[in-house]
Amino acid sequence: MISVHELEEHFRYLPPEQLDIVVEIHNLVARVAPGALEVLRREGLVYYDAHRGGPVSAGICQTLVQPDQIRLAFNLGAFLPDPHGLLEGNLIAKRFARIVSYEDAPWDDLAALIQASASFDPRTLAK
């Protein structure tokens, strides 16, 4: 995993509130999917299980920086349990949770989505 210092350096242009959200998502992924590979992208971060495939087939989640929010995105979010209705989007399978405020974010529910995504095997859809 990338160090918090590297994250802070890469995203130094973000307002502190948004940076705190990015770092907290990083910490959640490190906790629930410690083997995840983390890749910095211009628009955010991608987390995936390299032992199972690449960023799409074995994707866990993405942190996407938007001007007024951070999005926690799931390439296969349409197949994840979402009992609290956090996921938005109308693409074929991709969904995202909108995080506007660190204090108001449902961190436990977001951790559950990350855990569900880390455990999800898309090969089960073909059966």
Span 93-105, average pLDDT: 97
pLDDT over 70 at 104, yes or no: yes
Give the domain extent around 36.
Answer: 4-118
pLDDT at res. 97: 98
pLDDT, tens digit, 9 for 90 and up, residues 14-43:
999 999 999 999 999 999 999 999 999 888
| Domain total in the chain | 1
Residue 126 has pLDDT above 80, yes or no: no
Extended beta strands in 1-127, E state:
37-41, 44-48, 59-66, 69-74, 87-88, 95-99
* Mean pLDDT, the chain, whole residue set: 93
Position 92 in a domain? yes
Q: Any idea what the CATH number is for the domain that residue 42 is in?
A: 3.90.1150
pTM of the model: 0.92
Distance separating alpha carbons of residues 80 and 77, to the nearest angstrom: 5
